[in-house]
């Protein structure tokens, strides 16, 4: 019976040694990993954001006064020059009123001349002369007002551009609320896009940017005209307005554009590989190699590209950062470097 107990104890000791060996396969052997020596380089963050092409100018064509259309010249989809007559409203009544006022003005002017002659021989008072002059000036003002109303019956293109689809027909009676058509300045285009608020300082007026559109690999250029006065509260982005440089038949208003931006450039950025950064719930850490020991430290990061990330706090020039075996390492683990970049 004692022999059986002794055998059981020996067997359990062997199993315990096996378990210890399994948990520590190499005992206290160092973990092999690769390192990276922190250095400075020129770094910028490249991002892509969506944009939308728009006509440089676009407006709705509306009448200023109500009236019946007697002439219609809206070549849908065609280009028209500035000042082209698009719509003419009925104005015979205004023309008749203008002629009547012009006749009255002629009579008033002759009366005023006669009164001036009578005033010289004291045949009339100064007050009557002044009233006659006032009548002349009132008629001139009325004539100018009628001419302005006549000009409102002519609806002309406010700038050179492409006419949209018409919404009215010849003979229709329209009011200022009726949309006649639209006109777009398509020989020049602008583009709108938005960037995250942290890049708002990089969006300076006059900056040149590149963009592409679907269906072609050709790159186009645009220049920043202005930015919105405030950050969008819901999206935390800043809206940017640009003018497209040049003119191409490939660029159509309303088209989707892919804007490429190189932001936050720093010519002396401390960099480490992006895979060396270990994200945490509230911060970011990296593993330093110090005298063969792994040391976990918190860092602050800045801009990044596809390969490297800028470290703004937590490292210094010449530090060695571990880039592999990160999941196997524990604080104060022994490390053997196999390669240093």
Q: Which of 230, 264, 298 is the last residue of a domain?
A: 264
Contact criterion met (CB below 8 Å) for 166 and 181: yes
Instruction: Write out pLDDT tens, residues 173-186.
Output: 999 999 999 999 88
> pTM, whole model, 2 decimals?
0.60
Same domain, 215 and 236: yes
Residue 218 lies in a domain: yes
**169 vs 178: CA distance, rounded Å:** 12
Residue 23 lies in a domain: no
Could you list the residue range(s) of the whole structural domain that residue 336 is in?
Answer: 29-44+267-340
Instruction: Write out pLDDT tens, residues 261-317.
Output: 887 677 788 888 888 889 888 889 999 988 889 889 888 888 777 788 888 888 888
Q: How many residues does the chain have?
A: 341
Number of structural domains found in the chain? 3
pLDDT of residue 60: 94
- pLDDT exceeds 50 at position 237: yes
Query: E strand or H helix at 48, and its extent?
Result: strand 39-62
pLDDT of residue 7: 46
Which residues in 98-108 are b (16+ Cβ under 10 Å) and which e?
beebeebbeeb
Contact criterion met (CB below 8 Å) for 172 and 69: yes
Q: Which residue has the tokens 């480490």?
A: 272
Residue 194 lies in a domain: yes
Orientation of helix 126-151 relative to helix 92-120, angle to 10°: 160
**277 vs 283: CA distance, rounded Å:** 10
- pLDDT exceeds 60 at position 161: yes
> What are residue 31's DSSP bridge partners?
335
Rg over alpha carbons for the chain, rounded to the nearest Å, is 41
CATH of the domain at 145: 1.10.287
Q: Which of 248, 264, 280 is the last residue of a domain?
A: 264
Handedness of CA 185, 189, 195, 198 (dihedral sign): negative
Q: Which of 264, 286, 311 is the last residue of a domain?
A: 264
Mean pLDDT of the chain: 86
């Amino acid at each position: 019976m004692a022999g059986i107990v002794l055998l059981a104890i020996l067997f359990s000791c062997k199993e315990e040694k096996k378990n210890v060996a399994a948990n520590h396969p190499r005992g206290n052997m160092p973990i092999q990993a690769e390192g990276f020596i922190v250095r400075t380089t020129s770094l910028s963050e490249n991002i892509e954001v969506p944009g939308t092409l728009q006509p440089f100018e676009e407006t709705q064509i509306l009448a200023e006064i109500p009236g019946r259309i007697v002439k219609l010249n809206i070549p849908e989809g065609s280009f028209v020059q500035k000042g082209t007559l698009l719509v003419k409203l009925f104005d015979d009544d205004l023309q008749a009123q203008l002629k009547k006022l012009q006749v009255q003005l002629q009579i008033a002017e002759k009366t005023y001349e006669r009164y001036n002659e009578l005033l010289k021989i004291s045949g009339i008072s100064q007050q009557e002369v002044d009233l006659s002059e006032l009548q002349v000036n009132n008629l001139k003002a009325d004539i100018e007002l009628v001419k302005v109303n006549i000009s409102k019956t002519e609806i002309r293109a406010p700038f050179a551009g492409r006419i949209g689809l018409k919404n009215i027909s010849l003979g229709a009676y329209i009011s200022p609320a009726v949309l006649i058509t639209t006109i777009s300045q398509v020989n020049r285009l602008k583009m709108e896009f938005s960037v995250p608020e942290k890049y708002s300082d990089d969006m300076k007026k006059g900056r040149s940017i590149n963009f592409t559109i679907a269906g072609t690999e050709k790159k186009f250029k645009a220049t920043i005209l202005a930015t919105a006065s405030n950050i969008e509260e819901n999206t935390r982005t800043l809206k940017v307005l640009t003018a497209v440089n040049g003119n191409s038949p490939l660029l159509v208003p309303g088209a989707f554009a892919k804007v490429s931006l190189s932001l936050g450039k720093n010519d002396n950025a401390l960099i480490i590989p992006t895979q060396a950064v270990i994200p945490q719930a509230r911060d970011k850490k990296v593993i330093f190699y110090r005298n063969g020991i792994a040391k976990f430290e918190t860092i602050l990061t800045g801009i990044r590209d596809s390969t490297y990330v800028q470290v703004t706090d937590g490292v210094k020039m010449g530090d060695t950062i571990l880039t592999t075996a990160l999941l196997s390492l524990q604080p104060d683990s022994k490390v053997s470097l196999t390669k240093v970049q």
